Amino acid sequence: MTSIPYTLPRDWPLGRMIGAGVLALVAAFAVFGPMLVPGDPFAQSLMQSLSGPEAGAPFGYDHLGRSLYHRLAHALRLSPVIALAAVATAGAAGLVLGTLAAARGGWVERLLVILADALMALPGLLLVLIVLAIMPGTATGFWAGLSLVLWVEFFRLTRAATRATLASPAVEASRLLGFGWPYILHRHLWPEIAPLMLTAAAFGTATAIMGIAALGFVSVGMRAPTPELGLMMVELLPYWREAPMALLTPVIATFTLLFGLTLLAGGQK
């Protein structure tokens, strides 16, 4: 009997494996943490203001006597969900428009490139602020503004990769053999674009989370009492002497989340 050789799948780089593990731990805390220790992120008890950890609040309390544990779990669901929604929208738009620009060329490509360059000329946070001025303090406003900023990077990457792939001999051979666009997209374009999209998506998610936190820190993001990482920092900053660990809680959570995303995007063996 002739044996069929079996090839193990290519391992992920160690950095990406660590990043995925860190993100899995953060996601597990955000989803299952409130189940392990039931509580309300909005409930106040001024008698517990800035007090230390206890069974019902393992991370202690903030200045209004709200459980930092439950507010942090809520914040770690809110910011990543908004960021992932924005990245998914921007990635889909960039993938479609980048492929269209590279495939059609001519005035279609010139028009899309001019539009992308015009958006690139403006600071990203300014565009988000303009959208938030129309839809202030809402998750929808963040999603729309971040999508408007992030699609340009996906568009540029897709356009560059698609143009190079479409000019390759393999694609020319597929065309001569009569294969249509669905086959070319599946067989030639997507394998080249997918790794770039993964890296861009991880960096884009980190950028979106930093943008949400930065706007929250300057009090133009989500509105109180919504638990959000940047808003939690700015609320606790005046009390850093009395309760430094309360302030460090959202800081450490934000750093851990961004650290995991950065490793996932660019980890090497």
**pLDDT tens, position by position, 25-79:** 999 999 999 999 999 999 998 888 888 899 889 999 999 999 999 999 999 999 9
The predicted model scores a pTM of 0.84
**CA gap 76, 82 in Å, rounded:** 10
The pLDDT value recorded for residue 10 is: 54
Let me know: does 20 contact 39? Beta carbons within 8 Å.
no
Say yes or no to pLDDT of 6 above 50.
no
The pLDDT value recorded for residue 3 is: 40
In 3D, which of 14, 10, 22, 11 has the Cα closest to residue 267? 14
Only one residue has tokens 């005046």, namely 238
The pLDDT value recorded for residue 5 is: 41
Task: State the amino acid at position 202 in one-letter form.
Answer: A
Cα-flanking dihedrals φ and ψ of residue 65, to 5°?
A: 75, 30
Q: Is 107 exposed, middle or buried (0-12, 13-18, 19+ CB in 10 A)?
A: exposed
Only one residue has tokens 């955000």, namely 30
**CA gap 225, 32 in Å, rounded:** 22
- Tell me the residue length of the chain: 269
**CA gap 171, 177 in Å, rounded:** 10
Task: State the amino acid at position 191 in one-letter form.
Answer: P
Let me know: does 131 contact 144? Beta carbons within 8 Å.
yes
**pLDDT tens, position by position, 81-130:** 999 999 999 999 999 999 888 888 888 889 999 999 888 888 888 888 88
Q: How many CA atoms does the CB half-sphere of 82 hold within 13 Å? A: 26
**CA gap 144, 16 in Å, rounded:** 29
Give 177 or 126, the one with higher predicted confidence: 126
**CA gap 91, 43 in Å, rounded:** 38
Q: Is 245 exposed, middle or buried (0-12, 13-18, 19+ CB in 10 A)?
A: middle
Let me know: does 44 contact 64? Beta carbons within 8 Å.
yes
**Six-digit token pair at 48?**
């517990």
Of all residues in the chain, the percent with pLDDT exceeding 70 is 94
Strand partners, 54: 57
Q: Is 249 exposed, middle or buried (0-12, 13-18, 19+ CB in 10 A)?
A: buried
**pLDDT tens, position by position, 248-263:** 999 999 999 999 998 8
Determine the average pLDDT of the residues in 217-243.
Answer: 86
**Six-digit token pair at 258?**
């961004």
The fourth-level CATH superfamily of domain 67-266 is MetI-like (1.10.3720.10)
